[in-house]
Amino acid sequence: MSAMEDLFALQDEDVLTGQLKYRKARLPEADAVVAAESARVQISSEVADLRIERLDHARRQNRFEGEVAAVEARLAELDKRLYGSAITSPKEATTLQNEIASLRRRQNDLEGQVLEIMELVEPFDARLEELAVASDAADEAIAAALVALAEVEVVIAGELAESATRREAAVGSLPADVLARYQQSLPSFGSSTVVRFSGADCSGCPYSMPSMEADRVKGLAAGTLADCSECGRLVVC
């Protein structure tokens, strides 16, 4: 390979490496991981909110159930007294009956409250079950997205390594001064740092090369590296 071909090979590898790095930084597979993780976070946050609300209802339910148990205990005690032999007067029996009736109303009321809470909680539990399923699915989606990302990253890393090897080979046989000129111009011209002389024009120039400059370059030996006086690119004759 001639030095000029090596120079083009070097530029090709720099372009390819740049493209691969650009691609690596903007992988749709990475976006998919972010999206899957964000979906998972949303699910977790909804679960956390529902659990807090659910816990609040459960505490109220516990409190009412505790009160129901206390009322039932008191009723059992009063029943025992009413039907036992300790009653001394009809008035005492009436007082007991009134208290029993009032406690039964309280019991009904409390039990109604408990039922209400249970009904209220039902959709929470249904939604929490749905979210548990969705959460498993989200975990699987994250795992799959990570695998897909890792796969494409491995491919790109391999391509970058291959490109680096080819670049090294190209650099290895380039004269130091040519390499230095290339490196110096690279930041300004990127993928068109070295261009071919079309026979009449610098193919990197946005405008036509002045005819005097074209004639000068035309007069150089094939394979010579010239500087375009118009755009500053390296022109291979």
- List interacting residues with Zn ion (CB under 5 A): 202, 204-205, 228, 230-231, 233
C-beta of 179: minimal distance to Zn ion in Å? 20
C-beta of 36: minimal distance to Zn ion in Å? 49
Sequence-ordered list of residues with C-beta below 8 angstroms from that of 6, at least 6 positions apart, any chain: 170, 171, 173, 174
Of 163 and 204, CB closest to Zn ion: 204
C-beta of 139: minimal distance to Zn ion in Å? 57
Distance CA(98)–CA(123), nearest Å, equals 39
162 CB neighbour count, 10 Å cutoff: 13
Sequence-ordered list of residues with C-beta below 8 angstroms from that of 146, at least 6 positions apart, any chain: 33
Of 149 and 234, CB closest to Zn ion: 234
Q: Which residue has the tokens 């930041």?
A: 187
101 CB neighbour count, 10 Å cutoff: 10
Of 148 and 231, CB closest to Zn ion: 231
C-beta of 145: minimal distance to Zn ion in Å? 46
Of 6 and 201, CB closest to Zn ion: 201
C-beta of 186: minimal distance to Zn ion in Å? 15
13 close to 163: Cβ distance less than 8 angstroms: yes
> Which DSSP state fits 195?
E
Of 80 and 216, CB closest to Zn ion: 216
